[in-house]
Chain A
Amino acid sequence: MAPRLMQGSDAVADAAILAGCRFFTGYPMLPFTELLENMAKKLPAAGGVCINAESEMEAINMALGAAATGARAATGSCGQGISLMQEGIAELALNELPLVVFNMARGQQDYFQSTRGGGWGDYRTITLAPKDIPEAVAHTQELFHLADLYRTPVILYGDYVIAHTSVGIEVEAMEFGPLEPKDWALDGTMSGTGRARQIWTWNRGKPNTPGVGPDRAWNTIADKYAHIEATEQRFETYRAEDAETLIVSFGTTSVFVDRVVDDLRAEGLSVGSFRPITLWPFPAVGLAEATRGKRHVLTYELNAGQMIDDVRMYAHDRSVIRAIGGVSQDESGMRQGDLLNADEVRQRVRRAVGEPVAAGQ
């Protein structure tokens, strides 16, 4: 099969189906809507079910139900819609149920939401932020694997650029390692055997098969996330090792940042970039190393400063950190605005490192 021109939402839908997703649900909300449309079109033919939910709360809970039966399931939304799903995402985590959540975000306003969560209890979500459609396609498939491997909800941080732009791409199935059988899944067949299964965040169990209780259960889950934090950090650097100035950005913004790194290097400026790929677990080790000895650490994100909190936590020297991005939406409020622009990035970097900014630069 040759590469063909595909919209990002289309390619991601194909990737999800290739990964074995057989239940999808969502509530229309731009720029997530096209993913729902594509799944509605394609999933039934693949033997799956796609439901247009009546609310995001219903979507997350329907998806939780599907996941509880052992099916590979997914949902998605963005912004306020993901806000409505917080309770459900936490519930999935504390039930140790796998689910992929596609946050096709409105710009970069959902970093906090996708890393801090707003649900209850001690939980995290593995959150991957692809920089372009090919990476989104790979991340999508990997997230279904990670969700099952670790028995946790996981998030793909996409955005309008990924959802709505098109590239020439061939979506191919990826292979991951073997997984444990889902011996916790509910299908009704253990009912009446004396050893019926139970999924309950409180983990009380049944008289014949007592559970460990909430304290043990939630401690075990916390330990699991501590393990993930230690082992699943991912990042990418570009021309960073000998750079004086490091620009930190995530998602599609980093494509623009890397282009600017090349422009400024050509002018003789010593700049490089750092891109967290896992927003959680944030690549703390990588960032500490990459910021060592840097004169300037500049964060470029399209919000009032969210990822910068993590940069401040882990950078080698906090005092050299500056935010040079900002809230940036277009007129509709749903797409990235004027700051997603190489000229803008270039000017702000130059200003930040004390270089004069002439017209046309």
Chain B
Amino acid sequence: MTTVDITTAPERAAHRVAEFKPNLLQSSEHDLCPGCGHPVAWRLVLDSLVELELERRTILIAGHGCYTQMMRISDIDSLQCLHGRAPAVATGVKRMKPDAAVLTLQGDGDMVSEGLHEVLHAAARGEKVTALLFNNGVFGDTGGHMTATTVIGQRTKTSLEGREAGEHGYPIDVAKLLAQIEGAAYVARGAVNTPGMIARTKRMIRRALELQMAGAGFTFVEVLTMCPTGWFVPTLDGPEYLEDSMMETFGIGELKAPD
């Protein structure tokens, strides 16, 4: 078995088809765990912004979580806001800067636990922003606690034997709630555990941004991301565990889209 030298650019005539990092990433240095799905999802957002030529008019409002680091290393005008409040902050931003591409970035704890109120009302008002939910079914940043999207059976530090409906209640499918709201123009859920899912999710993110800029209304993309640390599974098992646990509860696809 011959291994190939991958420490340096090839000597034979070749062209680069994928850069290390997207242009809008000022640095690829972050402290997220090995196997974390958040940066995988964030790359799709950054690439989409550049492809749609929105990079010179994007404003990002990020909540509190591991993903906040994505805001810190991205070359985007950003504001870090209070837990749960991003859709409300984004409302004020977009109303004053209607030509900007306004994104919110939240985790499931931020949006579905703390901020359920805010995201539903922003959708109802049809605020022309794109809300992104990186859903790994756990409060990762605080050390692995139950959120409103933690699936039944998932062990966390506040559901040590596994989430049990009788004691802990059921997870909330916020995408389903949003899909029922008139003001929501586009509601989709993807994942980043396999190359196929990644490609599909990228198309959802692009579509959401296009629809925002077309003034269609509130757009929303949920991305299921791996959190092997929060799930107490080995890093390599993250993608499969995501499929077996989160995807069972939260279906992939476009829940609402214009005709």
Whether chain B is bound by chain A comes out as yes
Does A180 sit at the interface, judged by CB under 8 A?
A: no
Which of B9-17, B91-99, B140-148, B189-197 touches A? Answer: B91-99
Task: Say what secondary structure dominates the interface of chain B.
Answer: mixed
Is B229 located at the chain interface by the 8 A CB criterion?
A: no
B166 to chain A, nearest CB (A): 31
Residue of A whose beta carbon sits closest to that of B28: A207
B79 touches A191 (CB 8 A): no
Does A193 reach chain B (CB closer than 8 Å)? yes
Chain B minimum-CB-distance residue to A200: B80
Q: Digitize A21-34: 1 where CB-to-B-CB distance is under 8 Å, 0 elsewhere.
A: 01101000000000
Q: Does A313 contact B (CB under 8 A)?
A: no
Query: Given A188-B101, A206-B73, A194–B26 Cβ distance below 8 Å?
Result: yes
Given contact pairs A186-B59, A206-B75, A69 touches B89 in the complex (Cβ within 8 A): no
Q: Nearest Cβ in chain A — how far from B179, in angstroms? A: 20
Let me know if A194 and B75 touch, CB within 8 A: yes
Whether A187 touches B77, Cβ cut-off 8 Å, given contacts A55-B117, A61-B88, A61-B92, is yes
A196 touches B (CB below 8 Å): yes
B78 within 8 A of A: yes
Could you say which of A54, A63, A191 contacts B121, with CB atoms under 8 Å apart?
Answer: A54
Q: Does B56 lie within 8 Å of A192, measured CB to CB? A: yes
Min Cβ gap B63→A in Å is 11
What are 26 sample pairs from A and B whose C-beta atoms fall under 8 A apart? A22-B96, A23-B92, A51-B95, A58-B118, A62-B91, A62-B95, A65-B81, A65-B89, A65-B90, A69-B92, A69-B96, A73-B92, A187-B77, A188-B100, A190-B77, A191-B24, A191-B58, A192-B56, A192-B75, A194-B26, A196-B75, A198-B71, A200-B80, A207-B27, A207-B29, A207-B72
| Min C-beta distance of A99 to chain B, whole Å | 10
Contact B82 A87 (CB under 8 A): yes
B117 surroundings in chain A (CB, below 8 A): 54-55, 57-58
Alpha-carbon distance between A165 and B91 when the two chains are bound, in angstroms: 33
The interface residues of chain A lying within 8 Å CB-to-CB of B38 are none
A73: min CB distance to chain B, Å? 7
Task: Tell me the minimal C-beta distance from B27 to chain A in angstroms.
Answer: 4
In the complex, per-residue mask of B182-207: 1 if CB is within 8 Å of any chain A CB, else 0: 00000000000000000000000000
Name the residue on A nearest B60 (C-beta): A191
Tell me how far the C-beta of B236 lies from the nearest C-beta in chain A, rounded to whole angstroms.
30
Give the complex CA separation of A277 and B71 in angstroms: 42
Residues of chain A contacted by B80 (CB below 8 angstroms)? 198-202
Bound form: Cα–Cα A69–B61 in Å: 12
Residues of B that sit less than 8 Å from A by CB: 23-24, 26-27, 29, 55-59, 61, 71-82, 85, 88-97, 100-101, 117-118, 121, 125
Cβ-defined contact, A61 with B26, below 8 A: no
* Contact, CB under 8 Å: A186 / B79: yes
A residues less than 8 Å from B58 (CB atoms): 188, 191-192
A65 to B100, alpha carbons, bound, how many Å?
A: 13
Give how many A-B residue pairs fall within 8 Å (CB-CB): 154
Instruction: Tell me whether B89 and A62 are in contact (CB under 8 A).
Output: yes
Question: Could you say which of B71, B74, B76, B88 has the most chain A C-beta atoms within 10 Å of its C-beta?
Answer: B88
C-alpha gap A200/B23 in the complex (Å): 22
> In the complex, are the beta carbons of B88 and A57 less than 8 A apart?
yes
Q: Is A71 an interface residue (CB 8 A)?
A: yes
A197 CB-CB contact with B under 8 Å: yes
B82:A91 contact, CB within 8 angstroms: yes
Contact with B along A62-94 (1 / 0, CB 8 A): 111111111101000000000000011001000
Q: How far is the CA of A199 from the CA of B56 in the complex (A)?
A: 18
Cβ-defined contact, A199 with B100, below 8 A? no
Annotate A194-235 by CB proximity to B: 1 below 8 A, 0 otherwise: 101111111011111000000000000000000000000000
Q: Does B92 lie within 8 Å of A62, measured CB to CB?
A: yes
Residue A361 interfacial (CB < 8 Å): no
| CB atoms of A191 and B91 under 8 A apart | no
- Tell me the bound Cα distance from A73 to B73 in angstroms: 29
Asked if A208 contacts B26 (CB within 8 A), the reply is yes
